[in-house]
Amino acid sequence: MRLGDLLSKAPAREEAQVEGFLNGRGLSWGQHKTIDAGQVFLTFLCKTCGVVRTFASGKKLSCLGVGDRVVSIDACLKCAACGAIVEAWFLVVSRDELHGQAPIVRLERYVDNRRDRASRIGVGAGGFDDLLERAQLAYEENLGAGAMVYLRKIFEAITKQVADIAGIPTTGNNGGRKPFRNLLQEVDEQHHIIPTAFSSDGYKLFSELSEIVHGDSTEEMALQKYRPCRSLVIGIIRNVASDQEMKRAIKDLGWNVTGLNMPISGEAAS
């Protein structure tokens, strides 16, 4: 594997053994070098083309020494069809010497500047995709609590929207807002929106989201719980989108699954 192949898996923070890319010479702090480490290929939704496209870097990458085992890689990627440009930056860390013949390296951090010309590929859920991207970007910036806020908003909103479509009351006997635990249970009993893998932990994970949002957890813990919570939320979106009764109801109401209403601000349920 070449370094470019590893970087093409971004934002996944993977580790792998790659071909040497520094020609046996270390790179001092602040020292710059153009390296031949393979092209980087990342997939985005190109806003000019209106479809998913592969964006490719040039054959050479820009490498900057940051530490004994750390380098910064800059790449400029172009849409294969229209030439729209996306800038990408990678922080790469090595287990041992970076200038070895086959160093074991990992992608420590990835940032892209899409200049509003491209967007990350979502799950085909309209406004939910936007919030999922915001959650992911917050996570990549190590803002665990911020990432969880977006996931919690999606969880709440899609549960309430399914309840509205299914005719399940969202208010309690006294006219106030129904506790989310009760609403989620009723919705899941009728439409099984919680993925099978989380069937016994749906509300538990929501509780963990809430604890983090309300400041009852550390950033480190929020970052650790982000991936399973994101998987749960994406699973719910996909379950709702594939539910035949939901599809019929959404069609009858004149809605579009890819355009479900998703408020970006507003008070979250307790």
Q: What are phi and psi for residue 143, nearest 5 degrees?
A: -100, 75
Quote the pLDDT of residue 262. 43
* Longest Cα–Cα distance in the chain: 73
The mean pLDDT of the chain is 83
Q: What are phi and psi for residue 254, nearest 5 degrees?
A: 80, 20
Residue 83 has pLDDT above 90, yes or no: yes
pLDDT tens per residue across span 86-105: 999 999 999 988 888 999 99
DSSP one-letter string for 238-267 = HHHHH-HHHHHHHHHTT--GGG----SSSP
pLDDT tens per residue across span 116-144: 888 887 666 666 888 888 898 898 888 88
Residue 8 has pLDDT above 80, yes or no: yes
Quote the pLDDT of residue 65. 93
pLDDT tens per residue across span 174-212: 778 888 888 888 888 888 888 776 666 666 767 777 777
Quote the pLDDT of residue 26. 84
Report the percentage of the chain scoring pLDDT > 90.
32
Q: How many degrees, rounded to 5, is the angle at CA 52 between CA 134 and CA 229?
A: 35
Mean predicted confidence (pLDDT) in 229-257: 70
pLDDT tens per residue across span 204-232: 767 777 777 666 678 888 888 888 888 88
- pTM score of the predicted model: 0.65
Quote the pLDDT of residue 27. 87
pLDDT tens per residue across span 67-79: 889 999 999 999 9
Question: Are 75 and 40 spatial neighbours (Cβ–Cβ below 8 Å)?
Answer: yes
Q: Is 132 exposed, middle or buried (0-12, 13-18, 19+ CB in 10 A)?
A: buried
pLDDT band at 249 (very low <50, low <70, confident <90, very high): low
